[in-house]
């Protein structure tokens, strides 16, 4: 059927939209346009059908069997009256009638039942304002005392969601009015001749729309299925990978990683430990394992997350850095050394400096940071710009062991920056430079450290 009609009815089979001419293939009878009231008066209390007796009434409305289809909906109204407020309740009088007019809705039918009870009604800006106005006008004109109570529907079959207690008499009135409203809706109900085409076309449109929805959902699921197995991402390196790949010569000392080449250290729990492990290692140009050694001003040593300030005149003794000017020192981290040097030495700092210069520990330190460890021979290699051979340190780049004795001048044990430069690495000029760097290329050149002063 779909393949046969898709060319003539594409909006129906491809988009699920029913053409208007198919919906109205059979003419639908219009609703009634006037009141058709049927009374139930077993006690004969209303000789005149247009005059209803005063009393306690219940009203209700129903949308009928085809209430879910606006074109087929025909609403009925019911009104019921009881003999009194106390049980047993006896139905005294009732009436049923269809909702006239083109606007067929259950709220309007409920309101129309009240209107029929008091003879006209309405409320301001609502769709049913004409009925509210008629009710108010009739109440004002006839001086009627009117009290309206709302009762949840179908209390006989459903548990009410409202916590408001409903009086028994109101329940009984609503029950009776509901029965008469169903009867009125049944009388106003359309026959199957105009209804069948609407039901068939409505069912057909629902099936087409569900089919199109299934096609769209299947396409989206297929799109998601294709992306369900993405390419596996490369595993991130672990901390042990950084430890194994670092250029630092690591040793663990009291919960810290210490490099035996550059004398830098960082705590295991430091936030910068990964960055420190990835940083290049520049071997220290001094040996402080036996006697205090002067730290060149251009050389930087990191301890933890900071470095000493460049204004300090630094010396090092077995991993303890101290300043000759202010006497402050640091072993695991720099606190005072990271600040500007004031050049003033207090009594305690002067005592600590003298102990370090004599190879002894200050009062606040219990052991040397690198106890029993010696500085490894630095391997400073660099590739040339053209990717050729490697440059190595000259044999006379460091002083002999004889120069590191306790009775020697410390200034004579400090090599110059150019004395550490290989053929492919040169440092900027310093105050201690007296010979051109080209002299290092001469194998017969003899470097005399006594000629240099810092």
CB 81 within 8 A of CB 93: yes
The Cα 78–Cα 310 span in angstroms is 100
- Look at residue 98 and tell me whether its pLDDT is greater than 90: yes
Q: Is residue 286 part of a domain?
A: yes
Q: Are residues 181 and 34 in the same domain?
A: yes
Higher pLDDT, 60 or 374: 60
Q: Which of these three, 316, 342, 357, is where a domain ends?
A: 357
In a domain, 8, yes or no: no
The CB-based long-range contact list for 415-418 (8 Å cut-off, 24+ gap) reads: 415/285, 415/449, 416/452, 417/285, 417/296, 417/298
What is the pTM for the complete model shown?
0.38
Please name the residue that has the structure tokens 């940071």: 369
* Same structural domain, 179 and 85: yes
225-255 confidence digits (pLDDT tens): 555 666 777 788 888 888 888 888 888 877 7
- Residues 63 and 108 occupy one common structural domain: yes
In a domain, 6, yes or no: no
Q: Which helix (H) or strand (E) holds 253?
A: strand 250-253
Domain membership flag for residue 160 = yes
Last residue of a domain, one of 189, 208, 226: 189
Q: Report pLDDT digits (tens) over 397-439.
A: 444 443 334 344 434 444 444 444 444 344 343 333 334 444 4
Q: Quick one: 257 and 345 in the same domain?
A: yes
* Total of domains in the chain: 3
My answer on whether 60 and 181 are in the same domain is yes
Q: Residue 394: which domain range?
A: 380-454
pLDDT tens, 285-307?
A: 888 888 888 888 888 888 877 88
Could you count the other beta carbons within 10 Å of the beta carbon of residue 164?
A: 9
Q: Are 56 and 180 members of one domain?
A: yes
Residues 88, 51, single domain; the answer is: yes
Domain membership flag for residue 367? no
Domain's final residue, options 357, 390, 405: 357
For residues 315 and 387, state if they share a domain.
no
Whether 253 is covered by a domain: the verdict is yes
Secondary structure (DSSP) of 414-434: ---TGGG--TT--PPP-TT--
CB atoms near residue 326 (< 10 Å) = 23
Across 85-110, average pLDDT: 88
| Domain annotation covers residue 10 | no
Winning range, highest mean pLDDT, from 17-31, 243-257, 382-396: 243-257
Whether residue 272 is found in the same domain as residue 332: yes
CATH number for the domain including 47? 3.30.420
Same domain, yes or no: 265 and 318: yes
Does residue 232 fall inside a structural domain?
A: no
Q: Is residue 42 located within the same domain as residue 169?
A: yes
Burial 219-249 (b: 16+ CB within 10 A, else e): eeeeeeeeeeeeeeeeeeeeeeeeeeebebb
Q: What is the mean pLDDT of the chain?
A: 75
The pLDDT value recorded for residue 159 is: 66
Same domain, 60 and 169: yes
């Amino acid at each position: 059927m779909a393949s046969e009609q898709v060319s003539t009815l594409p909006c129906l089979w491809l988009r699920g939209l029913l053409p208007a001419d198919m919906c109205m293939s059979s003419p639908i009878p219009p609703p009634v346009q006037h009141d058709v009231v049927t009374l139930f008066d077993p006690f004969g209390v209303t000789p005149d059908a247009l005059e209803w007796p005063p009393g306690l009434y219940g009203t209700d409305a129903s949308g009928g069997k085809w209430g879910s289809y606006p074109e087929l909906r025909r609403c009925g109204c019911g009104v019921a009256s009881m003999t009194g407020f106390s049980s047993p309740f006896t139905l005294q009088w009732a009436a049923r009638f269809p909702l006239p007019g083109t606007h067929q809705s259950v709220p309007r039918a409920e309101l129309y039942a009240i209107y029929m009870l008091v003879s006209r009604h309405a409320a301001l800006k609502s769709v049913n304002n004409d009925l509210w106005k008629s009710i108010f006008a009739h109440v004002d004109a006839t001086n009627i005392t009117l009290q309206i109570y709302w009762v949840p529907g179908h209390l006989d079959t459903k548990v009410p969601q409202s916590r408001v207690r409903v009086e028994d008499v109101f329940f009984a009135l609503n029950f009776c009015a509901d029965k008469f409203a169903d009867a009125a809706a049944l009388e106003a109900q359309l026959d199957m001749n105009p209804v069948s085409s609407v039901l068939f076309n409505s069912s057909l449109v629902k099936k087409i729309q569900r089919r199109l929805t299934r096609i769209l959902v299947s396409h989206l699921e297929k799109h998601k299925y294709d992306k369900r197995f993405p390419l596996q991402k490369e595993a991130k390196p672990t901390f042990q990978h950084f430890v194994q790949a670092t250029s630092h010569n690591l040793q663990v000392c009291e919960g810290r990683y210490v490099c035996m080449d550059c004398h830098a250290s960082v705590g295991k729990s430091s936030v910068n430990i990964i960055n420190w492990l990835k940083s290049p290692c520049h071997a220290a140009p001094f040996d402080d394992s036996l006697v205090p050694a002067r730290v060149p001003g251009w050389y930087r040593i990191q301890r933890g997350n900071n470095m000493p300030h460049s204004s300090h005149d630094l010396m090092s003794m077995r991993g303890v850095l101290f300043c000759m000017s202010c006497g402050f020192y640091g072993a695991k981290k720099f606190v005072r050394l990271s600040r500007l040097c004031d050049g003033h030495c207090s009594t305690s700092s002067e005592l600590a400096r003298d102990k370090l210069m004599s190879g002894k520990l200050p009062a606040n330190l219990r052991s040397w940071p690198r106890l029993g460890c010696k500085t490894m021979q630095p391997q400073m290699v660099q590739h040339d710009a053209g990717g050729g051979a490697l440059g190595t340190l000259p044999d006379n780049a460091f002083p002999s062991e004889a120069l590191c004795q306790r009775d020697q001048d410390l200034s004579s044990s400090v090599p110059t920056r150019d004395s550490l430069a290989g053929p492919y690495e040169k440092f900027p000029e310093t105050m201690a430079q007296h010979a051109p760097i080209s002299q290092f290329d001469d194998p017969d050149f003899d470097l005399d450290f006594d000629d240099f002063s810092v």
